[in-house]
A = this chain, B = another copy of it.
């Protein structure tokens, strides 16, 4: 997608072929900065510190990270060690494991001397596949949005967290249909959940939509239920970090609350996902490991100070404990449909298995 008219992706191979470049998402929306990641340690740190985030992007960066590790040491032991180290950076997004497994499988049978180059190529292919997957998700989701088109006024879509192009390599998952609807001339307006505690909605989704010219309004996470009761939300579209084989959806903390409100008000609740986000080994979302992050993310809020610096303020009294669960699980019964690169299906074991018979059987 474009920033100030220039085409960008969220991760790219640097021209010298010795590193990857990423956008430092911790500085957005206040400052646009890119970072060069030259080795696996830097890639791992970027994932762990959430310099980059979003399940599909985590997968792509991890794939490149494994390739970078193999340049230093391409032995079997080093391959396994780098796989394990990168896998431990974030527990919830299953794309991370998928990408690491994919790259290792692509190079493990090769002589060590050939592994680094092959892994780099495979990581690049994963990134390209992600772009194509998300473009296709957008086409399928565009139809869902189009059904809500009215004679007057925009289609009002609520989203949570950031499942835009910053969370993937390009296009996004939940935002891909929105970009494509906007580009196709369907008037859309997006209610952007702030998404505490890290504010990915206010900081990233609002910034992305603004860069692309999509009308949007940032709201407190608390507001979505009220807006649905008022009839101000036509549909919800969110992304996900892991979908169980039964259609349960693990996504950013607070997604479950919005799904409950959508269900209570007859508002369709769609989840957009690339197929690597499906964890075929999980029969229920309740088994998803839910990351608990540093309480400082809840205790301090980052933003732009009155003097223009990126700064933080404490919002919790000294001495008060804080909790910081990063994800929750939305039961499949609250999900209207799953939007994948192969089409739109009900959030059921049958729906998913029918669309991916090649993988569900695995």
Contacts and interface: CB of A to CB of B under 8 A. Distances in A.
Interface of A: 29-30, 191-192, 194-197, 199, 202-203, 206-207, 209-210, 215-227, 229, 252-254, 256-258, 260-261, 264, 290, 298-306, 311-317, 319-325, 327-329
A328 B324 CA distance: 25
22 contacts: A29-B316, A30-B317, A196-B196, A202-B320, A206-B316, A210-B317, A215-B321, A216-B320, A217-B320, A218-B322, A222-B254, A223-B253, A224-B257, A225-B260, A225-B328, A226-B253, A226-B329, A257-B258, A301-B315, A304-B314, A305-B312, A311-B313
A322 B217 contact: yes
A217 B206 CA distance: 30
Contacts of A302: 313, 315
A89 B44 CA distance: 52
A313 B298 contact: no
Contacts of A221: 196, 220-222, 254
Nearest to A194: B196
Contacts of A194: 196-197, 298, 315-316
B303 A210 contact: no
Contacts of A227: 323, 325
Contacts of A329: 226, 229
Given A194-B316, A216-B321, A225-B254, 11 more contacts: A194-B298, A203-B315, A210-B320, A221-B221, A225-B260, A226-B290, A227-B325, A229-B328, A229-B329, A257-B258, A306-B312
Contacts of A196: 194, 196, 220-222
Nearest to A302: B313
Q: Give the one of A196, A299, A329 with max B CB within 10 A.
A: A196
Contacts of A225: 254, 256-257, 260, 328
A325 B253 contact: no
Q: How many copies make up the complex?
A: 2
Contacts of A327: 226
Contacts of A220: 196-197, 221, 253-254, 298, 324
Contacts of A191: 323
Given A199-B315, A226-B256, A321 B218 contact: yes
Nearest to A317: B29
A323 B190 CA distance: 12
A329 B191 CA distance: 19
Contacts of A314: 30, 303-304
A323 B217 contact: yes
A254 B29 CA distance: 26
Nearest to A314: B304
B254 A323 contact: no
A91 to B, nearest CB: 15
A32 to B, nearest CB: 11
Nearest to A211: B317
A290 B327 CA distance: 30
A191 B321 CA distance: 10
A99 to B, nearest CB: 26
Contacts of A209: 320
